[in-house]
Amino acid sequence: MGSKLKSFHVAIIGAVACILVVGGLYFFIIKKQYEQITKLNSEYQVLSEEYARLPKAKERLEIARQNNRIVSAKYEKYLQDKMPPLTFSDRAQGMIALWKEQSEILGPLLQSWPAKTGVNLTSSIQIPAAPVNPNAIDPTLITIPVGNFTVRGDFTTILSHLRSWNKFNRLVKIDLARLTGPSPGMTAEYAVTVYVFPRGEAGQNIAMAGAAGEAGMPGG
């Protein structure tokens, strides 16, 4: 009868139903799994490349550590050669050490240096007084303007003397020298500035005697 399904109709319907089921499995299960596998493969590729670079990275890290040790050792030696042992971890003690440096040590060092390098110092040296307020001292850099030096000698010796400041046992900056007169009685004049880098971190400010009372006094 026409109203009844024939066997091949049933077969077609069954085949279509199977196709729909398979399609659903693909979109809801297989495709999702495939996307996850693709993502994991990509992550694996990235991690594999990073792992392959790991030995080289370790090698560069060790080289950097060695260079850091070398530079740190050179810097420490430079501090020992060029810097007085000043620290302001205790500001009061640091100020006392700075007083001693400027009043007892730095002046004789500067005074004797020109003669050691073959020229005659014809000017006087004036070391400025150190600050009296330990809280006002810059704990990172101390600048000491020494003033003008005037030295006499021949041209070659004066040039050697100017270069010799690189070997002086304090960090010194000299301005451009002004040369006058003929050699060997030539004169060179230049300004000298000494720089000191204290070591370590600075401590807390200290209470100054009379500071509280002065702050509370009325004007007048």
Q: Indicate the domain borders of the chain.
A: 8-82, 84-196
Q: Whole-angstrom Cα distance, residue 201 to residue 208?
A: 21
Q: Whole-angstrom Cα distance, residue 197 to residue 24?
A: 76
The radius of gyration of the chain from alpha carbons, rounded to an integer in Å, stands at 40
pLDDT higher than threshold 70 for residue 29: no
pLDDT score at 111: 93
Fold for 84-196, please state it. Alpha-Beta Plaits (3.30.70)
Q: Whole-angstrom Cα distance, residue 132 to residue 16?
A: 100
Q: What is the phi/psi pair of residue 163, to 5°?
A: -70, -25
Q: What is the DSSP letter of 123?
A: S
Q: Is the dihedral of CA 186, 193, 96, 90 positive or negative?
A: negative
Distance of CA 73 to the CA centre of its chain: 15
Name residue, tokens 């200290």: 206
pLDDT score at 119: 96
Q: Whole-angstrom Cα distance, residue 89 to residue 69?
A: 25
pLDDT score at 2: 45
Mean pLDDT (the chain) is: 82
Average pLDDT over residues 127-155: 90
Average pLDDT over residues 67-94: 87
Q: Is the dihedral of CA 73, 75, 81, 87 positive or negative?
A: negative
pLDDT score at 210: 56
- 90 CB-near residues (< 8 Å, 6+ apart): 203
